[in-house]
Structure 1
Amino acid sequence: MAWNREATVFVLDVGAGMKDVVEGKMTALEVSTTCMTRMLHNKLFTESKDEFALILCGSEETENRLNSDVANERYDNIKTEQDLKLVSWEMLESMVNQDQPTAIQGDVFDAIRVALDIIEQDAAASKRKRFASRRIVVFSNLKSPTAFSTSQVDTLAKDLQQANVGVLQLIGRDLDAGPMEPAVRNDKTHGKQAKGFSDAAKMMNHLFEKLISLKIQDTKESYSYEDAVAYSTEFTTRVVRPTPWKALLELGETLKIPVVAYSEVKLAAPKQTWKKAIAQDVNNPIQQSVEYFIQKGLQREEIKPEDVIEGHKYGSTLVPFTADDKLSMKFTNIGKCLKVLGFASADEVKNHLYMGSDVKVMTAPEGDQAAQKALSGLVHALEKEKAVVIARFGYNAISAPKLVSLSPHIREDEKEHFEGLYFHYLPFADDLRMFTFPSLTDDDQKDNTKPNAEQLTTMDAYIDKLTLTEDNDEFEATSPKQINNPYLQRLYLALQFRALKPDEPVPPLDERLLDKLRMPDRLVKLSKAEVEQMTGLFPMKKVETKPRFKNGGVFQDEAHPGDDGNSSVVASDTKNDSKAAQDTVKNIGTIAPADDFRVMVSKADDGHFANVMKKAVAIINQLIFKTFEGSVYADKVILLLYAMREESVKRNLPGSFNDFLRSFKDDLLEKNFDDVWNKIVAKNLNLISKSELTSSTVSSHQATEFLQSRKEVPKEKKNIPVAAKEDDMFDEMFS
């Protein structure tokens, strides 16, 4: 469909006049190909359906349909490099290669005539309208001579009108800047400026004036290279066809107003996603497959995909859920709807309650006068009462219902008159987060916390200096309509560079991408005095906050005294000085179990210590024996064992720790977790011996032997379930 497709023909001057240096060390031709390439990359990334053609002016070859010896029509040195088609990487590569000017000078107006022929030939060959608009873009500094007269230019303008070419653009020369040619550096001028329009510039200026008089376009669309480079640096987002959401706005049981809604604001994201590829051959697709296993001891048993169903955690239980269960769970009895629940004062629906990734605008269908009249009455009544509609919204037949607000919007100006409703999603109770914050001004110390008159006056002045109004030059520049997403711009530029130069490193961030997100220089200078004054009136001091835990947890390298082999006792300096943190830890988790254990035992007396030890043992067994790859959690478990040992020594209760460590060693060796046991030995994590606590039943010799021996444990002794054995062991210890 041609609803938004555009046909664009690029006319690129590659003649001798394009060798002039115009941007740093780049020639006019290099800047032209850079701008053109960026424009096409933009279309490529957004998957545009627009089509492009390329005409070379001043080429060494002559290849175009209009050139004919028989008809005595000469279009020499004009080459049709490419007819109209979608953007492709081949097209981009051919344009990049057009970087060396020829020694020939071509006539730009002949090239425009050839471009016009491409558009006319396409229209004649098509049985239906393929494009909604047509455009010709000329890249030239107009240094080449032309044989066109004003009468021929007038005829060309009328032909452009007849072919429905809506826009003619010139990149390389700003004709509104006056007759002064831009400064160039070449062998003839040596950087001097040549005054006066060239013949080609005069004829181009006349062509624009004629197009304006024919009302084909409103202004001379001619741009300097500097403006073109700045414009082409930014990529535009994909043009999305506005698709209406049609429904009935139900006011009660009988009044149902037909409405249509469009997404006016929607969070933009690149359509393409990151894909996996082979580094040596990115064009060879990778096939991904998923396999399922269950762990039975040391063996993995494969599960067929048809035997796998989804499940949802309900507390600590995984509840199975089949595809049929999911289907029956859908809101099939709700359906597509927009039902009014009531009305609320606009002041009561605060802006911070608006949710969702888009904002819709709603109006009545075009041509439905009854709906337009009814909706207009509702909009004006809401505007008068300063109220909004609260409604239930269902996008389609199986969507979960949502809560929305509909606020009135009336816009009347010279260009248009619009009446409609803005559509915002509202939260449910589950979506709200309640916070209570202390007052910024302390009633008990008002003199210290409440700003004085001088501070308020200075802040008011600062706000006044930075207030943007339509009279400011910065007002339009800071409009969201003028600022592209820097992340998307950086992504597209990096992809463009990598596609054309696969062997070079991606260049650093172009600071121009952030220019529009910085305060304009004029406002910085304008508010400088107020900023300096506020710095003195509001002295800022850094407030040091204590971390929740001084211990860095399992991700921090910790020096254990037992590591040096001199002692197996761990001296920990961890102090849980945050009472709030202590109150929040109710169980030992798998993220930082050692930290959780220390917090819990700090609040436990000897009677409850056994309980905490039970929980620690359960977590150790869960991490090592009940996970897919238990060995990867060895470091976490060792930190927890250190904490358990340390606390057992402090409380003079060595028996519980020693009995568990013996049992844990047997389980590790029996189930072939030798790597975990070797780490324990390397850390010198030993039994608590009599040399440390006289109440221990383990001698120093037995402790030394414990780390050295690898006694096999008969398998028949290990039939007791882990959880049951833990409970029995600790019940015996503390009975």
Structure 2
Amino acid sequence: MAPTKIDQGTLIILDIGRNVSKTEGKGEKSFFESARECTARIIERKIISQGKNYLGIILLGSKKSTGDFKYIEVFSELQTPTWQMIRNLPDQPTKAKGNWFDAIIVAANHYMNEVSGVKIMNKKIILMTNFEAASYVDREDIEKVLVGFKESGLEIDVFGPDIYSENNKNEDLELARELVEGTNGTTTTFDFIMKYLLFHKKKVVNPTPWNVDLSIGPNIKIPVSAYIRLKDQPVVKNWLASVRDPVTNTASTTEGIMKNKIFVNSENQSVVEHSEVIKGYCYGQEIIPFSECDKSMLYESGGKSLAVYGFTQEDNITWQCLNGDGLSYVFGQKNDKKAQYAIRCLAECLHELKLVGIVRRVYNNGNAPKMYALMPVIDPNFICLSMVGICFKEDIKSIAFPPLNLKKFATTDEQVDAFKELIKAMDLTKAYDEDEFDDTEAFPIAECVSPSAQYVLDCIAFRAMNPGKPLPPPRDDIMMLFKVPPLIEKRSRDPLEKLKNLFELKKVEVRTRKKQTVPEMDIENVAKSDNNENMDDMPKINLDVYNKPNKVYRVGTIDPIDDFNTLKTEGKPLQELYKEMGEAIENMIFSNFDGNYDNAFKAMLYYRTECVKSDPSYYNNWLREFKMELHDRKKNNILNMFSDRKVDFILKEENDKSTFENADEDSQLYEMETMPTLTEVSISTEVNDMFDEM
């Protein structure tokens, strides 16, 4: 039987002896605490990455011994990393001291003799000790070990002390340097490695190609392979369901809840046999049956294919037309030089002619066809085609906005320069250092991790180690990804203040329609007919006749002019009265069913007369918005009544405070802003009226 292939094997030599128990200063961690934390983080990362890795732990300075090697214990053999390894790590150091060089020999022997049935591609030994316990190793032993490690492919890494420090004259550090350099290993301090282990890493997988023939016309077929470049994927793809035993409080993946699926007739609550059930689809509130014989009428997309439908200008494919869940790169199939040359030639031609290919893709038999755009990728290292999904017509919503080339939207040179200063100040390539020669970019593309994914993985690790406890909030390292770099915040402070002074923004108040309050009706005198035999024995309800209340609180729709005068006499501010008057007129028009708008236009003329006496801006602004709303609802019949009823804007000749010198001045602006169709998806007038009545 062929051995199982393992990508990487890691043996961690963790020093727990007396020499690592001391702390350098008050409140600081000891070497043992830092090494234990680093070991736990390495195990956690390998578990979450779900890679084909083996991991083992050897304790240096343990009370137990392995053969002739004293105070060295194989604490955990090479195996798939588990959460139990972290739980079993020792909490306190011992009083013994072990030889770190002997521990490396034990680790090498464990690789050679104790692991069977697997083939480890990359073998690594991580040593965590402060080298304060002397090893007493001869130079000849080091050379012999190096020769054996090179032949077996072992790599020695040293985490913790700085073995290249010039201040430390320890001879063991020199021996450790020789081992690291002789096996092409790495060395780093705990501070640096913990920053590297700060975020979880994705599982490294070999890309799997999607092989198909790229068809161009009836005669040209190019064997190609499509590789996924970017794809939206869940944080955890496969969840292993388990059931927790309430007695032992342990989870089991071999036990589960037995489920039985039955079909019940909703009319008589009887059980229906599976053979008598016909599948169907819900179309609105109606169920359409779909039998086996109807399957012959289904649309067949055909087998796996990638066919070119044609070519179009690259300007026709905008970002609004792109969709899908990722991006793929298309190459000629491996070991087929003719196909590779053909794809390279096609990509160069598309790039030179500024064209894009439109292809129909069927991933596999029975899958629905999708349309994709083939775009050239010209890179110094390779030339290929990129493939990304495009929308169908019904998926595109064309939204037209009013033109901005009007005088009131014109910007000055000073305003444009202010925005340029802000963009320059918020340059992410110089986010952490003011030195113009040092470009330290913040949030680099393809390197910035997802905060949500990191928090989900943190929660998984926390729940594995702390079952039953509430999940913690996101740690500070994750929350830092949401914050603006301090240097950019400092540089952009002055440009932002300058923009605030140059652009005077007015807060737009969104008007909300208030529900009309209906007076409560008393239900009294429920009586039965006693002496009348022809009357049904039904309760009689006497409703009080509604009378207008003596106290008026706001302008209503029954008699808005009288309500306006009453509230004005009581001293209610004109600003509130004008607003209530406009809302009442709108309700009178939009809620009208008989087509008689006399009362509404009388109230509108009275509203205009009152504003001529005081401030015409209230009426003019309201009338402009009201006309636009009528236009949006396509109530052109009411718009035509404005000129017949002589309802128009208050001009400057009537009141000096008005900004309208001519009645047609605002109508031109109104036409320019409302001429384009705002969207292809239009809402009927009946639907709008329905919402107004709610």
Q: Report the TM-score when normalising by structure 2.
A: 0.68
TM-aligned CA deviation for residue 326 of structure 1: 5.4
Worse overlay, 455-464 or 146-155: 146-155
Q: Which residue of 1 aligns with 2:281?
A: 312
- Within the candidate set 171, 175, 189, 2:159 is matched to 171
The alignment status of 1:285 with 2:256, answered yes or no, reads yes
Q: Which residue of 1 aligns with 2:410?
A: 450
Cα pair 2:126 2:157 within 8 Å, conserved: yes
Deviation per CA, 1:80-129: give whole Å up to 9, x if none: 1122111223333223xx22111122222222222222222367x44xx7
CA–CA separation in structure 2 for the residues paired with 1:56 and 1:169: 16
Q: Which residue of 2 aligns with 1:111?
A: 103
Q: Which residue of 2 aligns with 1:419?
A: 383
Letter matched to residue 111 of structure 1: A
Q: Which residue of 1 aligns with 2:495?
A: 530
Letter matched to residue 329 of structure 1: L
TM-aligned CA deviation for residue 149 of structure 1: 4.2
Letter matched to residue 58 of structure 1: G
> For the structure 1 residues 305 and 510, does the alpha-carbon distance in structure 2 shift closer, same or farther, using more than 3 Å as the test?
farther
- Within the candidate set 425, 428, 453, 1:465 is matched to 425
Q: Which residue of 1 aligns with 2:30?
A: 27
TM-aligned CA deviation for residue 401 of structure 1: 1.2
Letter matched to residue 367 of structure 2: S
Alignment coverage as a number of residue pairs: 531
The alignment status of 1:84 with 2:78, answered yes or no, reads yes
> For the structure 1 residues 519 and 606, does the alpha-carbon distance in structure 2 shift closer, same or farther, using more than 3 Å as the test?
closer
Deviation per CA, 1:280-329: give whole Å up to 9, x if none: 25435333444444444xx6444444444443233443212246645862
SS in 2 for 1:482: coil
> For the structure 1 residues 205 and 427, does the alpha-carbon distance in structure 2 shift closer, same or farther, using more than 3 Å as the test?
same
TM-aligned CA deviation for residue 267 of structure 1: 1.4
- What are the equivalent positions in structure 2 for 1:452-601 lying under 5 Å apart? 452-469=412-429, 477-547=442-512, 550=514, 561=520
Cα pair 1:262 1:360 within 8 Å, conserved: yes
The alignment status of 1:258 with 2:252, answered yes or no, reads no
Letter matched to residue 246 of structure 1: N
CA–CA separation in structure 1 for the residues paired with 2:555 and 2:174: 83
Cα pair 1:389 1:407 within 8 Å, conserved: yes
Deviation per CA, 1:585-637: give whole Å up to 9, x if none: xxxxxxxxxxxxx9999354599xxxxxxxxxxxxxxxxxxxxxxxxxxxxxx
CA–CA separation in structure 1 for the residues paired with 2:588 and 2:210: 55
CA–CA separation in structure 2 for the residues paired with 1:604 and 1:379: 64
Deviation per CA, 1:3-52: give whole Å up to 9, x if none: 77211111111112322447965433233233322332233234322111
Deviation per CA, 1:551-597: give whole Å up to 9, x if none: 59xxxxx9995799999899999999xxxxxxxxxxxxxxxxxxxxx
Q: Which residue of 2 aligns with 1:55?
A: 58
CA–CA separation in structure 2 for the residues paired with 1:360 and 1:169: 37
CA–CA separation in structure 2 for the residues paired with 1:533 and 1:279: 64
CA–CA separation in structure 2 for the residues paired with 1:92 and 1:327: 58
TM-aligned CA deviation for residue 474 of structure 1: 6.2
Worse overlay, 201-210 or 372-381: 201-210
Letter matched to residue 84 of structure 1: L
> For the structure 1 residues 274 and 538, does the alpha-carbon distance in structure 2 shift closer, same or farther, using more than 3 Å as the test?
farther
> For the structure 1 residues 575 and 488, does the alpha-carbon distance in structure 2 shift closer, same or farther, using more than 3 Å as the test?
farther
SS in 1 for 2:509: coil
Deviation per CA, 1:439-472: give whole Å up to 9, x if none: 4x351xx2x4232211111111221233345987
CA–CA separation in structure 1 for the residues paired with 2:128 and 2:473: 28
- Within the candidate set 359, 364, 373, 1:405 is matched to 373
SS in 1 for 2:376: strand
Q: Which residue of 2 aligns with 1:198?
A: 170
What 5-or-longer segments of structure 1 have no aligned partner?
Answer: 69-74, 180-194, 553-557, 577-597, 608-735
CA–CA separation in structure 1 for the residues paired with 2:292 and 2:190: 60
CA–CA separation in structure 2 for the residues paired with 1:228 and 1:78: 25
Cα pair 1:346 1:388 within 8 Å, conserved: yes
Q: Which residue of 1 aligns with 2:141?
A: 152
Cα pair 1:477 1:516 within 8 Å, conserved: no
Letter matched to residue 32 of structure 2: L
Cα pair 1:154 1:210 within 8 Å, conserved: no
- Within the candidate set 132, 148, 151, 2:121 is matched to 132
TM-aligned CA deviation for residue 349 of structure 1: 1.4
SS in 1 for 2:424: helix
CA–CA separation in structure 1 for the residues paired with 2:371 and 2:196: 41
Q: Which residue of 2 aligns with 1:710?
A: none
CA–CA separation in structure 1 for the residues paired with 2:295 and 2:88: 53
> For the structure 1 residues 122 and 278, does the alpha-carbon distance in structure 2 shift closer, same or farther, using more than 3 Å as the test?
closer
- Larger helix proportion of the pair: 1
Q: Which residue of 2 aligns with 1:120?
A: 112
The percentage of aligned residue pairs carrying the same residue is 24
Letter matched to residue 257 of structure 2: I
CA–CA separation in structure 1 for the residues paired with 2:462 and 2:218: 60
SS in 1 for 2:479: helix
CA–CA separation in structure 1 for the residues paired with 2:73 and 2:401: 72
Deviation per CA, 1:217-276: give whole Å up to 9, x if none: 5xxx22222223333231122333311100011121111111101111111311244858
Q: Which residue of 2 aligns with 1:5?
A: 7
Worse overlay, 196-205 or 429-438: 196-205
TM-aligned CA deviation for residue 406 of structure 1: 1.2
CA–CA separation in structure 1 for the residues paired with 2:393 and 2:464: 48
Letter matched to residue 109 of structure 1: F
Letter matched to residue 193 of structure 2: A
Cα pair 1:330 1:398 within 8 Å, conserved: no
Letter matched to residue 12 of structure 1: L
- Within the candidate set 310, 313, 337, 1:345 is matched to 313
SS in 2 for 1:132: strand
> For the structure 1 residues 33 and 84, does the alpha-carbon distance in structure 2 shift closer, same or farther, using more than 3 Å as the test?
same
CA–CA separation in structure 2 for the residues paired with 1:114 and 1:542: 74
Q: Report the TM-score when normalising by structure 1.
A: 0.65
What 5-or-longer segments of structure 2 have no aligned partner?
Answer: 431-435, 526-541, 558-586, 597-694
Cα pair 1:31 1:229 within 8 Å, conserved: no
- Within the candidate set 173, 187, 195, 1:230 is matched to 195
CA–CA separation in structure 1 for the residues paired with 2:349 and 2:315: 16
Deviation per CA, 1:385-408: give whole Å up to 9, x if none: 222211111111221111111111
Letter matched to residue 420 of structure 2: D
